Structure formats: C-alpha cells, structure tokens
C-alpha cells in the first residue's frame, strides 16, 4: 500500500505512463475501468482519485454505493484481474488509490475492447489485427525498460538537464532527486535504472548507446555531394532536442512581422513547430535496437529531411496520422510530462496544418526502411522586416494564388486601395509578382 508520502511524491511527479489522476469518480464509472484495463495491459500503475489536473490534492469521497459500482465495473474485465483499492489520508484530505499490477494474462478486455497505456493516456483498440500486433510486441521487453545494473544514474545525473525537466514538468524542486526519478518508474523493482532513464537523464548516454545521437548536416545544393556543416549532438535526449532546434534556427531564414510599437515577431521560412514535432517524434519513437544508424536532420537548398531509424509499427502504418504506439513508452511519457507531447497521434495532423497555414507544401512521409519526413523550403527567403498586413497578404495569396485584389481585401479585412498599396510595396522589393490577366491570373510569391 502507498503511504501519504508516496502519494505526495507521485502527485509532485505528475501524470505519466504509470500514474493517472482523477478529480473525482467520473459519472460514467466505466471510464475508470478503461484506465485500469490499460494499466493491466502495460506495466501496471496507480490511479489516484482526489487529485486535480493541476497536480493538487483536493480529496474525494467515495461512499459504499460508488465503491461497489467501481468494483462491479472492474469485475467485468476479462480475464479476471487483481488490484487493490483503498484510501489514504494526505494532510487531512482523502485520496483513493486503485493500485494495478502489470497483468500476467495479457491481453485484458472490457466491454469487448482492450485498452493500452501510451504515455500519460489510454488508447482503445478494437481491431483484432491491431490487438494481435500489440501483444506480440508486448512479449518482448521495451528497449527503454531494459535494466542497466552497472550504471549509477544518481552519480551520472545531468543536473542542469534534470533541473530543466523539473521546471517544464512543474515538479516541486525540493523533492529528493531519487524520489522524483523513482516515482516516474525510471528504476525497476530491483532499484536498477532502466535504459530510458539513462537516455533521458544521464550526462553522456552516448557512452552507453553510441548510436543514440542526432546528426545535423547542411549540404550545398540539392544533393549530398558538398557538406557545408556537420554536427553531431549527444547528451540527454532533451538536450539533443534543444541543440537540434538551435542548429536549425542558425540555418533557416527568418523574416520579421512588425505591428505598432510592440516587439517584432519572428516568422521562420518553415514554422519551428513543425520541426519540434518531427524531432520529438524521432527521439520518442525511434528503434533504439537499430544500432546501425542515428537520427539525422539533413538540410538542402530546397528541403529539410528528418530521418528516424526504424520502420513504422504495422498498427501505426495502417492508421498513419490517427494512431500512435510508442516503442519507448517510458521516454514518451517523460516528454509528455514536459508538455512537449500533447495527444496521442496528433503530431502528424499538427505538422500538416502548420505547413499549410504557412502557405507551404504539406510534409511528405517515407516509411520504407526508415521513417523520413521531408519539408519543402520556399525557393528563397529574405531577412527583411514585414508589417503585419504585408505578411497577411503574402500568406493569403500563398494559400490561394488566384484571388483578386477585392478578394484579398475581404480575406484580411481591408479595402481594395489598401491592398493595392501593400501589393505594390511587395512587388517593389521583389517578393510578389502577378502573372496573367487581373481576372484570371495568379500570384507568385518569391519567398
């Protein structure tokens, strides 16, 4: 059974792969049962009732009828499962705990469906082929759960990286480092650090996993003949992510939007949000068993390619952009705690939308062999400062090059005369051109 101190440690650590919070018992008790089922099908965990979304213990009351309803609903899980349900007083507030071990008879079903824990969320599986693939995969241990008995993580902990993690995950800094790591299941039952813990928190994980690095290469032209810059970034995965983003920012072109007297806003040739999604995806879902390759970011004059070792899992390939199953649930859960991952399977749609909103070609994905996403760059991009209205005109005609002056004005809420002046200024600096007749021609954006 958990003590009050144990519960406080879990709450401080936030929701994750092994921990889920509920403010109170949901009106539909089956929602709790689905969470229990997902924990049984994964590595087990704790469902805490009486903790809100802000990681605050608010307490909860569960009377006998509610408790009976919960027990009856969980009793519908097949095959029969074992769990503990009890309450613990934490500073005068009652927290109910449903403690679920990793099930020994996977898969477990509830109401004809099965549920699987992915990061800090539960995913519903209904298709027989999907279920079979998941549990064939579960017969082998996840790479990031492999214990490394020769490594002392506390001695090798990257303090600055861990401080950044705690800050972004909103974890109380006064809590002992070991307790925080333990609450996140970085150690196994024998107190041995897991591979995922080393990759995410050790100073030099590449000393253990030499391939676990990100290589960034800038090429001249559109092929791989002349290399202009070549950097390899190791260290904790969070720092690999940070360094890769900074490298990209040093190579990408940027314009500036100015509105009134306020600070200028950076407008990157490709939205940084797209790169963030792609790199987090690569770090969290790559096949770390594949030791012959590393994550690569390759920049050419016309495109950027981000390659992730390992093919898509069959379930993900069939439901690309809608479902996500991680090869590394511990790593994925740690990124989730930092709010760098929002919702399961939502990264691909967000990348797609961000590119189209910027007037760019949608991402292209290759899934044979390795997983590669290709992002097309604008033909050229000038380091000049644009006003807010200039930028809106550019973005509007990128999305629809056939618009007339009147239609451009309607789209951004200004009159034809104002549109004419803005278009004239953009033509003067060589950023905009119109070909064909006014009625049926098209705009060409030269950035």
All residues at 6 or more sequence positions from 71 whose CB lies less than 8 Å from its CB, including other chains: 85
CATH number of the domain bearing residue 395: 1.10.10.10
Q: Are residues 244 and 338 in the same domain?
A: yes
Peptide bond into 209 cis (omega under 30): no
Q: Are residues 133 and 15 in the same domain?
A: yes
Q: How many domains does the chain have?
A: 4
Q: Is residue 206 part of a domain?
A: no
Paired residues of 46 in beta bridges = 19, 99
Paired residues of 266 in beta bridges = 256
Per-residue pLDDT of the chain in tens (447 residues, 90 and over written 9) = 889 988 988 888 788 878 899 999 998 999 999 999 999 888 888 999 999 988 899 999 999 999 999 999 999 998 888 899 999 999 999 999 999 988 887 788 888 788 888 767 787 876 665 666 666 555 556 788 888 988 999 999 999 999 999 999 888 767 788 989 998 889 988 899 999 999 999 999 999 898 999 999 999 988 899 999 999 999 999 999 999 999 999 999 887 766 666 677 788 989 999 999 999 988 988 888 776 789 999 999 889 999 988 655 544 445 454 555 567 888 988 998 888 876 555 678 888 888 888 878 889 888 776 789 999 887 554 456 677 788 888 888 888 888 988 899 998 888 888 898 899 888 877 778 888 877 778 888 765
State the pairing for strand pair 214-220/295-299: parallel
Q: Are 251 and 299 in contact (CB under 8 A)?
A: yes
Domain boundary among the residues 376, 399, 419 is at 376
Paired residues of 18 in beta bridges = none
pLDDT the model gives residue 231: 96
Number of Cα atoms under 13 Å in the Cβ half of residue 309: 16
pLDDT the model gives residue 314: 47
Q: Are residues 92 and 73 in the same domain?
A: yes
Q: Are residues 163 and 131 in the same domain?
A: no
pLDDT the model gives residue 17: 79
Comparing CA positions, the residue from 277, 28, 42, 5 lying closest to residue 20 is 42
d(CA 343, CA 325): 12
Range of the structural domain that residue 45 is part of:
4-140
Q: Are residues 265 and 327 in the same domain?
A: yes
User: In the sheet where 295-299 sits, what is the strand order?
Assistant: 226-233, 214-220, 295-299, 303-308, 371-376, 364-366
pLDDT the model gives residue 286: 85
In whole angstroms, what separates CA 158 from the centre of its chain? 22
Q: Are residues 347 and 263 in the same domain?
A: yes
Q: Are residues 390 and 325 in the same domain?
A: no
Q: Are 282 and 290 in contact (CB under 8 A)?
A: no
Q: What is the pTM of this model?
A: 0.62
- Cα–Cα–Cα angle for 34, 38, 39, rounded to 5 degrees: 120
86, burial (CB in 10 Å: exposed 0-12, middle 13-18, buried 19+): exposed
CATH number of the domain bearing residue 347: 3.30.565.60
Helix, strand, or coil (residue 310):
coil
pLDDT the model gives residue 383: 53
pLDDT the model gives residue 47: 93
CATH number of the domain bearing residue 74: 3.30.950.30
pLDDT the model gives residue 346: 63
């Amino acid at each position: 059974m958990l003590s009050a101190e144990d519960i406080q440690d879990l709450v401080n650590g936030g929701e994750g792969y092994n921990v889920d919070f509920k403010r109170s018992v949901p009106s539909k008790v089956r929602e709790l049962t689905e969470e229990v089922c997902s924990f049984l099908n994964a590595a087990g965990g704790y469902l805490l009732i009486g903790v809100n979304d802000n990681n605050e213990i608010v307490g909860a009351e569960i009377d006998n009828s509610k408790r009976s309803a919960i027990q009856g609903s969980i009793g519908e899980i097949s095959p029969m499962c074992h769990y503990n349900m009890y309450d613990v007083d934490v500073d005068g507030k009652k927290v109910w705990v449903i403690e679920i071990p990793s099930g020994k008879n996977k898969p477990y079903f509830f109401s004809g469906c099965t549920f699987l824990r992915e990061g800090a969320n539960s995913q519903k599986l209904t298709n027989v082929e999907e279920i079979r693939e998941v549990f064939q995969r579960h017969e082998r241990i996840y790479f990031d759960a492999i214990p490394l008995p020769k490594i002392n993580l506390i001695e090798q902990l990257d303090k600055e990286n861990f401080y950044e993690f705690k800050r972004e995950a909103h974890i109380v800094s006064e809590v002992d480092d070991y307790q925080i790591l333990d609450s996140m299941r970085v150690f196994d039952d024998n107190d041995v650090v897991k591979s995922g813990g080393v990759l995410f928190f050790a100073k030099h994980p590449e000393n253990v996993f030499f391939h676990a690095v990100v290589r960034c290469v800038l090429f001249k032209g559109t092929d791989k003949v002349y290399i202009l810059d070549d950097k390899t970034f190791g260290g904790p995965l969070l720092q690999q992510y940070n360094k890769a983003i900074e490298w990209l920012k040093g190579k990408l072109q940027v314009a500036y939007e100015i509105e009134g007297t306020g600070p200028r806003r950076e407008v990157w040739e490709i939205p940084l949000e797209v790169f963030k999604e792609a790199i987090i995806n690569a770090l969290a879902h790559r096949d770390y068993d594949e030791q012959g390759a590393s994550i690569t970011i390759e920049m050419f004059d016309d495109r950027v390619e981000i390659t992730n070792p390992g093919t898509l899992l069959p379930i993900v390939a069939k439901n690309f952009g809608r479902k996500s199953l991680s090869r590394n649930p511990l790593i994925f859960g740690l990124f989730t705690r930092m709010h760098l991952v929002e919702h399961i399977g939502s990264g691909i749609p967000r990348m797609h939308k961000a590119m189209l909103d910027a007037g760019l070609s949608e991402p292209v994905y290759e899934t044979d062999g390795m997983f590669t996403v290709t992002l097309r760059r604008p033909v050229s991009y000038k380091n000049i400062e644009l006003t807010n209205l200039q930028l809106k005109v550019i973005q509007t005609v990128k999305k629809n090059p056939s618009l007339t002056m009147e239609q451009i004005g309607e789209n951004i809420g200004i009159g034809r005369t104002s549109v004419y002046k803005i278009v004239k200024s953009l033509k003067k600096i060589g950023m905009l051109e119109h070909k064909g007749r006014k009625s049926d021609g098209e705009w060409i954006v030269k950035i």
